[in-house]
Amino acid sequence: MELLKEVIRKLSRVSVLGNSTEPGNAETLRETQLAAGAFGAQLQYVDLHEPGNLVRALSEIKNGRTNAVVVFRNPVASAQRTRIIDFMAKNRLPAIYVAPEWVEDGGLLSYALDVRDNYRRAATYVDRILKGAKPGDLPVEQPTKFELVINLKTAKQIGLTIPPNVLARADKVIR
């Protein structure tokens, strides 16, 4: 939400494309609502839990007069990634996604954990287990490295200027 607010100064209404059947969706939605409230933005939750609901979900977003869209982790949305990205471009809607692949395929922004870093960290756990550590004795760790990816071609296409301070924080910029 903070990135969207920095990119869209007059952020007032945000659509969230989620999946009510996905584990963690409700908690992520609660956290997103808190963040939106802190920035004075209203949320419109749009549930996408079946592939056949995509047209309805995108219509809800379009009719909701939203300034931006947040796409939660969702296997149904991931399977329809190209259609969702095309819809956002056609309707000139800035969107933030859960993985860099979305931005590489034409989405605007992603802010997500760095999967490669997580795999490297997981390898240290495997190493410790192979050296005799009991898995139950190893601490549970949260991701520590996140990656911001920005697609400037998409920003230009939807008529959006990414502020220099946001660009400076990007790990990857697609030009």
Contact between residue 79 and residue 22 where contact means Cβ atoms under 8 Å apart: no
What are the Cα distances from residue 40, in Å, to 35, 95, 139? 9, 18, 38
Contact between residue 74 and residue 48 where contact means Cβ atoms under 8 Å apart: yes
pLDDT surpassing 90 at residue 50: yes
Contact between residue 97 and residue 150 where contact means Cβ atoms under 8 Å apart: no
Q: Where are the alpha helices (DSSP H) in 71-170?
A: 75-79, 81-90, 100-104, 115-130, 152-157, 164-169
Say which CATH superfamily domain 2-113+146-174 falls into. Answer: Response regulator (3.40.50.2300)
Domain segments of the chain as ranges: 2-113+146-174
Render pLDDT for 55-89 as a digit per residue (tens, 0 to 9). 999 999 999 999 999 999 999 999 999 999 999 99
Cα 104 to Cα 8: distance, rounded to the nearest angstrom: 21
174: left (phi over 0), alpha (psi -120 to 50) or beta: beta
Render pLDDT for 122-140 as a digit per residue (tens, 0 to 9). 999 999 999 999 999 999 9
pLDDT at 55: 97
